[in-house]
Homo-oligomer: A and B are copies of this chain.
């Protein structure tokens, strides 16, 4: 293809009412690319959206179909989850994180999107003095949008300059006012694939205790730090997690990526035993239910969607069980993403790009689902516009709470030999704009 002109791009953006393309959501970027594809007459290289690029785990499909045959479609899903899911969620957390959580605390949500949204909302209502959520950024853009939608306050900082020893002082500066109700981050990190070190997690857990804040740890990509083999159930090494360092935590584990089950919107929120039963007078006053876990299920999840797809709960239960039994090696399946990452990174390097977030402590960053790239001294907006003119689409780091210029690259849709060739071609086109 030939690069589209700036005028062609501006025309589409104007028509779609987009002022600054570096500020759009992922779905919006996809929609813009779809319009540009019509003009270019060629399919773009889609590096923006984390659609699982693998088929769904067949164990889930079979279990879900069986559940449908058994008649669950007519029966409201139990708001605390079906027993099989609670049991196997608890086993899974033990098997891959070496963390003990009573099945009672394993509660299904309509994707971790709902888990993060409802959990942040509840955390903001535990104590009138604690009205602000702290994000360790960069992060998944809609997480930052969620508090806006319900008028909740948020603060965040970019981890880029605050890794290792520097993390404590920075977090203390955010938390010392006593107004932080919760700390949210994803680990491995979306968009940067930063994996927090044990020391960093210990710092976070310790500060959660010190300031009585709840850690919401989004583990969407758990066990996908391929520098270590985290694939063996009930065997070390385990996925690093804040749950080893505090009781003030909720873990969000989604079926979307680890089982390629994003279509069915199924995840679990895993609430620590101690937090589940903790009584919050403010919840009791407002909802007549004081227990953190009960209020989450009976109030927040109930009024949000009246629970989570009954058949999908059975699907996730079966997949978690198979993973615990060692019958299904989800990590092995996911290694495919690591390979795509390595190969596509090499293509970016060849064209003069660099990683933005490149290290965890002393180690070079792992290959995985995402990485972040920069080019010369281009701004977020310049890179986005250049990409879109040249048949590429990604999202800009400024939408993720990053202070750096660059783009997030998601490798999930690089499926075929042709996809990598096209990436190379489109990048050749891109770099020709800046020579």
Q: How many residues of A contact B (CB 8 A)?
A: 67
Which of B74, B261, B289 is in CB contact (< 8 Å) with A74?
B261
CB proximity to B under 8 Å, residues A306-321: 306-312, 315
- Shortest Cβ gap from A389 to chain B (Å): 22
Residue A129 lies at the interface, judged by CB distance under 8 Å to chain B:
no
CB distance from A258 to the nearest CB of B (A): 12
Q: Which residue of B lies closest to A313 (CB)?
A: B263
Q: Is the CB of B73 within 8 A of A288?
A: no
- Cβ–Cβ contact A17 & B290, under 8 A: yes
Q: Which one of A145-153, A194-202, A237-245, A425-433 is at the B interface?
A: A145-153
Residue among A23, A73, A145, A307 with most chain B CB within 10 A: A73
Interface membership of A305, Cβ < 8 A:
yes
Out of B23, B117, B256, B265, name the residue touching A303 (CB < 8 Å): B117
A60 at the interface (CB under 8 A from B): yes
Q: Which residues of B contact A306 (CB under 8 A)?
A: 111, 113, 142, 265
Name which of A25, A56, A77, A304 has the most chain B CB atoms within 10 A of its CB: A304
Q: Is A368 an interface residue (CB 8 A)?
A: no
CB distance from A333 to the nearest CB of B (A): 11
A69 interface residue, CB < 8 Å from B? yes
Given contacts A55-B74, A56-B73, contact A146 B27 (CB under 8 A): no
Contacts of A150 in B (CB 8 A): 121, 150-151
Complex: A304 Cα to B145 Cα, angstroms: 10
0/1 string, A37-76, CB within 8 A of B gives 1: 0000000000001011011100011001100110111111
B-chain residues with CB within 8 Å of residue A146 when the two chains form the complex: 303
**Residue A209 interfacial (CB < 8 Å):** no
- The answer to whether the Cβ of A300 comes within 8 Å of any Cβ in the partner chain is yes
Q: 1/0 per residue A274-305: CB within 8 Å of B?
A: 00000000000011111000000011101111
Q: Please state the number of chain copies in the assembly.
A: 2
Residue of A19, A264, A312 with highest tally of chain B CB at under 10 A: A264
Q: Which residues of B contact A19 (CB under 8 A)?
A: 288
A260 within 8 A of B: yes
What is the distance, in angstroms, from A347's C-beta to the closest C-beta of chain B?
A: 25
**Structural contact, A74 and B54, CB atoms closer than 8 A:** yes
Asked if B27 contacts A262 (CB within 8 A), the reply is no
Q: Which of A145, A288, A289, A305 has the most CB of B within 10 A?
A: A305
Please tell me if the beta carbons of A298 and B261 are within 8 angstroms of each other in the complex: no
In angstroms, Cα B309 to Cα A405, docked, is 35
Given the complex, which residues of B lie within 8 Å of A307, measured CB to CB?
265
Chain B residue with minimal CB distance to A125? B149
A142 to B307, CA, bound (A): 13
Which residues in B have their C-beta under 8 angstroms from that of A113?
A: 302-306
Q: What is the CA–CA distance of A298 and B25 in the complex, to the nearest angstrom?
A: 8
A262-B75, A305-B111 known; A64 vs B68 contact (CB < 8 Å): yes
Query: How far does the Cβ of A107 sit from chain B's closest Cβ, in whole Å?
Result: 13
Asked if A132 is at the interface (CB within 8 A of a chain B CB), the reply is no
| Known A-B contacts A27-B298, A142-B302; A263 and B111 likewise in contact (beta carbons under 8 Å) | no
Chain A interfacial positions (CB closer than 8 Å to B):
17, 19, 23-25, 27-28, 49, 51-52, 54-56, 60-61, 64-65, 68-69, 71-77, 79, 110-111, 113-114, 117, 121, 142, 145-146, 148-151, 256, 260-265, 286-290, 298-300, 302-312, 315
Interface CB pairs A-B, < 8 A, 12: A28-B298, A49-B76, A51-B76, A61-B73, A65-B65, A76-B262, A148-B286, A148-B287, A149-B300, A263-B309, A265-B306, A305-B305
